[in-house]
Structure 1
Amino acid sequence: MELQLSTPALLFSAITLLMLAFTNRFLAIATLIRGLHKNYNNEPGSEKIVEQLHNLRRRLTLIKNMQLFGVFSFLLCVVCMFLLFQGYTSAANWVFVISMGSLLIALVISLVEIQLSTRALNLELSDMEDIFKNRSSSLDIFFKKDNKSENE
């Protein structure tokens, strides 16, 4: 199969959308860090705030790496297009493969960051677990056994 100039060009829109999503995650993390910093200054010994800050630092590093690999993938797509334009199809194929690999790494890092994000939200919800334990959801009605029929 011969790589055409339009193939790496198709990745431009996908990569730019991913970069936009990565940047939005970065901005959200930055806002959270600033808010937690204010809370930490008010309560410097709070274990929960310290744990959240450690989690945010890990997530910030992951987002930086996601952006790094995304930009690297984007640059390699441009190099691939240039090589195709110059007629170096063999080199362009290898550059395109590396570009796709870089994009794959960015997506895997994104999955890891989503897992950390979920863990951080669960940490926030841990304060309210007692409320959730005593409250039934609307679906519990359908899944609970009928106590009246068992008692009769």
Structure 2
Amino acid sequence: MTITTPALLFSAISLLMLAYTNKFLTLAQIVRQLVHDFPKDDDSRIKGQIKNLNLRLTLIKYMQGFGALSFLFCTLSMFSLFLTYLFIGEILFAIGLILLGVSLVLLFYEVTISTKALKIELENISINK
């Protein structure tokens, strides 16, 4: 393994972190809108949305955390390989890959929750018409 192997993940992890940040910003905007509208419309559907958004925000926090740790371990792996500590570099790279995998599993779970929430909203629209 060479120093370029962990470096290959840098662009992928950076793009992933950008996508996570965009998801967070979108959710923050939705939460702010809900806070603005909440006193006007106090029904159980809004309370369900708030519960869903809390879970999604928590998941995004962990997605970003595991992604950042993955980035850190890839950096440490490169540094170890630079210092010619091949075995340590390989172990650090493996840990970085595992952390990235955890982040992606959380992403899949968050997308699943998001999709279910949107389907519920669509059902509410079709019922009300």
Which of 58, 78, 93 in structure 2 is aligned with 1:96? 93
Equivalent-residue separation in structure 1 for 2:12 and 2:108 (angstroms): 17
Q: Does structure 1 residue 57 correspond to structure 2 residue 54? A: yes
2:63 corresponds to 1:71:
no
Q: Secondary structure at the match of 2:38?
A: helix
Match of 2:107 in 1: 110
* Structure 1 residue 33, shift from structure 2 partner: 0.5
Asked whether the 8 Å contact 1:39–1:49 carries over to 2, the reply is no
Residue matched to 2:36: 38
Map Cα deviations across residues 29-75 of structure 1 (whole Å, 9 max, x no partner): 000001111111222x3111110000000000000000000000000
Residue in 2 that maps onto 1:18? 16
> How far did 1:131 drift?
7.7
Q: Which stretches in structure 2 are left out of the alignment for 5+ residues?
A: none
User: Cα RMSD between the aligned structures?
Assistant: 1.3
Q: Which has the higher contact order (CA 8 A, sep 6+)?
A: 2
Larger radius of gyration: 1
SS at 2:2 equivalent? coil
* Percent of residue pairs identical: 43
Aligned residues: 129
Structure 1 runs (4+) deviating above 3 angstroms are: none
Gaps of 5+ in 1: 133-152
How far has the Cα of 1:76 moved from its partner? 0.5
Q: TM (normalized to structure 2)?
A: 0.96
Partner Cα distance (2:117, 2:30) in 1 = 11
1:87-112 C-alpha deviation (Å, 9 max, x unpaired): 10001110000000000000000000
